[in-house]
DNA sequence: AACCTCAGCAACCGCGCGGTT
DNA sequence: CAACCGCGCGGTTGCTGAGGT
């Protein structure tokens, strides 16, 4: 099957290379409202000079709210190793077993860390890594690799856990939901998106989907479902701020001001405030 | 201090698959 | 049934920052 192939995007008018914060915001706000039913038409509708593929990639690998960033844990690395033994280079399938991790990320980790470590620990050459083809056959005979697999992985470069901690802390905040909704309303500005806004049910299904991605340990203990939903939205925005590099500035400012303001805390610059230039043509 | 090398990662490219017409 | 379309996947590239000389 699979006849023909649509030409990829028109390479003449699309922008390429690293994504700017402005583009990120546009993409995020659009997907937030309308979802991503059609990647091909999404860039046009969202006012992005990118091809759909690029948008999809950016969303899946970086902007998605459920992305878990930071170093891989030894357990994760062991899982990758184990799954790679049985699945081969099926990165998407491996990623499916690791919530919050993308196939691209796993692929990178494999090529940079695990393969190297495996090679050094087994004395294999680069081309002799746990062969996908051979390992596919091994699935039948040895579905479970030896348990000591993880041992060779545990000596990994987990020294910089700071990142993980920092990112995790991003999920321990409680931001006013109304502020988030204000942000969403801000991006509704027709001059920005040039599409009629209506409250698409997909937005809420999208929000609902967020719940699926949350790790149990990450979920707050609040019994109020609505409250937790608000928290999730807030977390997501905060997470986005961190990813866009806005949170760092906030932290620096907060560190500087910490001594002076304990009681009355002015709200930190919101995502939309940071992108004010977008809304002011 | 300047230059070089290398590792890590984000993004791109092209192919193949599944669904639709 | 064939052609088309859009998406997902895996491989590859190239940029950037860190570490070494």
Residue nearest to nucleotide C2 (CA to C1'): A3
Give residues lining strand B (CB < 7 Å): A 1-3, 5, 8, 11, 15-19, 50, 53-54, 57-58, 61-62, 71, 104-105, 107-109, 111-113, 116, 157
Pick from A100, A125, A105, A102: which is nearest to A115 by CA?
A: A125
Running DSSP on this structure, what letter comes out for residue A4? S
Listed residues A159, A177, A195: the one ending a domain: A159
- Is the pLDDT confidence value at A82 over 70? yes
Residue nearest to nucleotide B18 (CA to C1'): A2
User: How remote is the C-alpha of A44 from its chain's centroid?
Assistant: 23
Distance A102 CA to C6 C1' (A): 21
> Average pLDDT for residues A8-30, to the nearest whole number?
76
Domains in chain A, number: 3
* Residue at A186 is within a domain: yes
| pLDDT for position A233 | 52
Listed residues A8, A29, A63: the one ending a domain: A63
* pLDDT band with cut points at 50, 70 and 90 for residue A183: very low
Is the Cα torsion angle A24, A30, A33, A38 positive or negative in sign? negative
- The residues of A between 13 and 32 with beta carbon within 7 Å of nucleic strand C are 17-18
Listed residues A123, A141, A159: the one ending a domain: A159
Q: Tell me which range, A9-23, A97-111, A140-154, is most confidently predicted by mean pLDDT.
A: A97-111
| pLDDT for position A15 | 81
* Residue at A46 is within a domain: yes
* Residue at A5 is within a domain: no
Q: Which nucleotide is nearest to A40 (CA to C1')?
A: C6
Nucleotides of chain B touched by protein CB (<7 A): 7-19
Same domain, A50 and A29: yes
Contact A174, A264 (CB under 8 A): no
- The CATH number of the domain where A55 resides is what? 1.10.10
- Is the pLDDT confidence value at A131 over 50? no
Mean pLDDT (chain A) is: 57
* pLDDT band with cut points at 50, 70 and 90 for residue A217: very low
> Average pLDDT for residues A193-198, to the nearest whole number?
37
Report how far residue A75's alpha carbon sits from residue A25's, in angstroms, rounded to the nearest whole number.
33
* Residue at A147 is within a domain: yes
Contact A99, A178 (CB under 8 A): no
Between these two residues, A25 and A173, which has the higher pLDDT value? A25
Between these two residues, A13 and A122, which has the higher pLDDT value? A13
Domain that residue A87 falls in? 74-159
* pLDDT band with cut points at 50, 70 and 90 for residue A241: low
């Amino acid at each position: 099957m699979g006849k023909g192939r649509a030409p990829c995007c028109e390479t003449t008018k699309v922008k390429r290379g690293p994504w700017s914060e402005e583009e990120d915001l546009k993409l995020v706000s659009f997907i937030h409202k309308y979802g991503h039913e059609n990647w091909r038409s999404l860039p046009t509708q969202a006012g992005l000079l990118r091809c759909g593929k690029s948008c999809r990639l950016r969303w899946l690998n970086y902007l998605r709210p459920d992305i878990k960033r930071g170093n891989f844990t030894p357990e994760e690395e062991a899982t990758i190793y184990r799954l790679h033994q049985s699945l081969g280079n099926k990165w998407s399938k491996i990623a499916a077993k690791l919530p919050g991790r993308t196939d691209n990320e796993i692929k990178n980790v494999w090529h940079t860390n695990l393969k190297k470590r495996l090679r050094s620990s087994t004395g294999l050459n680069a081309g002799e890594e746990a062969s996908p083809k051979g390992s596919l056959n091994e699935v039948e005979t040895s579905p479970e690799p030896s348990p000591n697999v993880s041992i060779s992985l545990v000596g990994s470069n987990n020294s910089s856990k700071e990142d993980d901690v920092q990112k995790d802390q991003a999920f321990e905040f409680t931001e006013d939901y109304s502020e988030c909704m204000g942000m969403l309303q801000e991006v509704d500005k027709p001059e920005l998106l040039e599409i009629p806004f209506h409250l698409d049910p997909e937005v809420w299904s999208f929000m609902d989907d967020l719940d699926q991605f949350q790790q149990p340990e990450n979920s707050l203990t609040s019994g109020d479902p609505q409250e937790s939903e608000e928290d999730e939205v807030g977390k997501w925005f905060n997470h986005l701020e961190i990813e866009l590099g806005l949170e760092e500035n906030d932290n620096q400012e907060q560190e500087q001001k910490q001594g002076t303001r304990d009681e009355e805390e002015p709200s930190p610059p919101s995502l939309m405030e940071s992108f004010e230039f977008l809304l002011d043509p």
